[in-house]
Amino acid sequence: MEHAGLLARLRRAALSAGLVFACLGIGGLAGNAAAQGDAPATAKVKIDNGTCLGCHDGTKGKLEVPTAAGKPRALSPVDQQKFEKGVHSQMECVACHADIKDNAEKNNAHQKDAQPLAKVDCASCHQELWEQTVKRGRADDRPRLKAVATNIENYKKSFHARPNPDDKTKPNATCSQCHDTHSFNVPVNKSSTENTQWRLGISERCGSCHSEQLDTYKESVHGKENAKRMLADAATCSDCHFAHKVANTSSEPFKLTVTAQCGNCHGKQFDAYKDTFHGAANTLGYGYTAKCYDCHGSHDIVRVKDPASKVHPDNRLETCGSCHNAKKGLAPVSKGFVSFQPHAEPGNFTRYPEVTAASWGMSGLLIGTFAFFWLHTILWFYREWKDRRERGGGPVHVRVDEVPVALQAKQFQRFTRTWRIAHFTFALSVMVLAITGMPLFYPEVPWAHAVMNFFGGPKVTGLIHRCAATVFASIFFWHLFYVVIKLGRQWRTWKVFGPYSMVPNLKDLQDCIGMFKWFLGQGPRPKIDRWGYWEKFDYWAPFWGVTIIGVSGLIMWMPSFAGQFLPGWVFNVATIFHSEEAFLAVVFLFTVHFFNNHFRPDKFPVDVVMFTGSMPLDEFKKEHPLEYQRLLQSGELEKHLVEPPSKLQMKLSRLLGFTLILIGLTILTLVAIGFFSTGGPSLPAGVVV
């Protein structure tokens, strides 16, 4: 009998798929299951809806039912007109209230000695209907029903489904507390007047339990906007807290998702927030950084120009100080925080002129640098590849007959051990800086979260990043000190534009023009001296790079100190400079620099001169013919010759070279994935803490 009763309930429930959406707030599922062949015709019952509504329409006086506590509970009347317009209108009352049989049976709810009725379980009924749909292989035909089943699972995990602290036998909230199942009908058309009126009532329904929050909400910009315009365009409770996934607001999942809910309405502000350190950490899955509600409030949000706003200029220091304080291990806020723009939009010159100018300037630098050197790289590759093909493959072999036979097996020492160690350390620090910084550039791509987790989260990764930056800067300043000392000793003989100087000169311009002519077959390859113009560019690029990245990094590293002297917009500009210059450095090094030194047809697959310090004489003569001739004619060539590296040294040098190249190309690949996934380098506009 119990099985038959359940089957009857399922058959009646299937007559109206609207039942599914009524109880869970989905709405609009028409009662056409029978027409679609999902269930047979309804079985006959002894009590029809007319009989039920004849008593429960509110005109027969007060109706009560017994409860487990012994105190009768008054029943709310059912408005027949509203019921007939609701999604349950095709349902039989007894399909849900299965305990009601007829008036003649003993222990029936209508008898004086009746036992309390079993609570109607909306979720179980809908879930059973979905399970039957799946068993019949109709799941793909009922996507909205699947959504209901998903909502059921979400509700079971939600804060509302947890046991009530005052009565552990009851959940915090049930379906019927939010939805009037007798008249419920969510308008499907979201642009309709009916849907607007339904949305406008959400806050009141939630406020029946959360009265204090409702009172605060009504005074907020969201509540006032809805009350004033009656368009329901502003946020309601379910927009921020969801309808069936209501979570504890102090839980990590809620913290990670609520800001995205704000972004559904405030798209530009949300995009700008994601470009801050706060937003990037949130996107990566770490909930300890500031969210929208930390700065703007939650139920009490008011417009920024309102003196009561937490982000009003008069209140910003206090608001920022709630997180930036000694208790939380952060330096206290300073006056620069007041004018910082957490939602600055590069491109909106009228409102953010400094940020827009910085963005345009760095974009121009990137475009100009890459346009020139990528064209240079493509043409150089084409020319060397063409020459190799014409001579039948293999590199060019230059004879060094002018050198005594006994010396021809030796190599020319181009870099000392000190410079090789400095190069290796410099390269390693750049790679660590890139791999620890790039996740904040592209927090939405899958690899960013994996990398951040590998290093132990944003805090540990930030520490590693700053340690690598310290090593990077130390090598740079050591080099400056070395150069100054050397110039001090050789100031009388040193020539600013001499062949051994790294200062660009007229010959570099001539060599550059000559190389392009050679690329295009319009002239011979120019003869290069000690340094090529591309090598001088590689040398000077870190000077502006370290200046831009270093100064901007220090500003973000010590925001409270910098904020005592600098306006807030400097932080926005600093982060643009830092991110764009870092992007330029990474892409340039692992494309142009790698090509010039390793990937050219005459160098491929790896050049080990920076690891061994020396190069064969024939290669030296080919790559730097002017220096070779000058040393040969002056008789100084022999002083620069050393024994060739051993086989073990060559193997280790190649292994080291391939390892660094592999790491560099891996970083380049990750950056490329991030770039093409997001449409460009992210511009973090927040202070790194």
Quick one: 403 and 425 in the same domain? yes
- The amino acid occupying position 369 is T
What is the model's pLDDT at position 381? 96
What is the model's pLDDT at position 68? 66
Residue 230 makes CB contacts below 8 A (sequence gap 6+) with 196, 200
* DSSP codes joined into one string, 36-81: TTSS-PPPP-SS-HHHHHHHTTS-S---EE--TTSS-EEPPP--HH
What is the model's pLDDT at position 62? 74
Q: Are 400 and 601 in contact (CB under 8 A)?
A: no
pLDDT at 3 over 80: no
Structure token pair of residue 341: 């723009």
Quick one: 44 and 147 in the same domain? yes
Q: Are 16 and 87 in contact (CB under 8 A)?
A: yes
648 inside domain:
yes
CA 279 to chain CA centroid, Å, is: 8
Look at the block and give the residue holding tokens 């340690």: 467
260 inside domain:
no
pLDDT at 325 over 60: yes
For 325-350, b where at least 16 C-beta lie within 10 A, e where not — what string?
A: eeeeebeebbebbbbbbbbbbbeeee
Quick one: 535 and 395 in the same domain? yes
* pLDDT tens profile 258-290: 888 899 899 999 988 988 889 899 989 888 889
β-strands 411-413, 73-74 pairing: unpaired
Bridge partner list, 614: 413
What is the model's pLDDT at position 679? 62
Q: Are 400 and 410 in contact (CB under 8 A)?
A: no
The secondary structure of residue 180, as a DSSP letter, is -
Length of the chain: 689
665 inside domain:
yes
Quick one: 197 and 173 in the same domain? no
Quick one: 614 and 469 in the same domain? yes
Which residue, of 214, 231, 247, is where some domain finishes? 247
Quick one: 588 and 468 in the same domain? yes
- The amino acid occupying position 130 is W
Quick one: 167 and 203 in the same domain? no
Domain that holds residue 476: 353-678
What is the model's pLDDT at position 115? 67
Q: Which of 255-259, 465-469, 654-658, 673-677 has the lowest mean pLDDT?
A: 255-259
Q: Is the peptide bond before 253 cis (omega within 30 degrees of 0)?
A: no
Q: Which of 66-70, 320-324, 346-350, 628-632 has the lowest mean pLDDT?
A: 66-70
Average pLDDT, the chain: 84
pLDDT-derived band at 678 (thresholds 50, 70, 90) equals confident
* pLDDT tens profile 285-324: 888 889 999 999 999 999 999 999 999 999 999 999 998 8
**pLDDT: is 616 or 189 the higher one?**
616
pLDDT at 683 over 60: no
CATH number at residue 496: 1.20.950.20
* Cα–Cα dist 687/434, whole Å: 18
Quick one: 200 and 166 in the same domain? no
396 inside domain:
yes
What is the model's pLDDT at position 46? 62
* Cα–Cα dist 686/689, whole Å: 9
What is the model's pLDDT at position 27? 38
Quick one: 241 and 368 in the same domain? no
pTM: 0.78
Average pLDDT in the 7-27 region? 39
What is the model's pLDDT at position 553? 93
577 inside domain:
yes
Q: Which of 176-180, 480-484, 494-498 has the lowest mean pLDDT?
A: 494-498
253 inside domain:
no
* Cα–Cα dist 97/120, whole Å: 7
689 inside domain:
no
Quick one: 225 and 363 in the same domain? no
Quick one: 467 and 562 in the same domain? yes
pLDDT at 39 over 50: no
CA 283, 287, 292 angle in degrees (round to 5)? 75
**Domain tally, the chain:** 3
Q: Are 443 and 682 in contact (CB under 8 A)?
A: yes
What is the model's pLDDT at position 103? 54
pLDDT at 685 over 50: no
Quick one: 102 and 237 in the same domain? no
Count the Cβ atoms, other than its own, within 10 Å of residue 274. Answer: 22
Q: How many CA atoms lie within 13 A of 188 on its CB side?
A: 8
Q: Are 188 and 198 in contact (CB under 8 A)?
A: no
What is the model's pLDDT at position 110? 64
* pLDDT tens profile 629-639: 999 999 999 99
171 inside domain:
yes
pLDDT at 482 over 70: yes
* Most confident region among 188-192, 440-444, 653-657 by mean pLDDT: 653-657
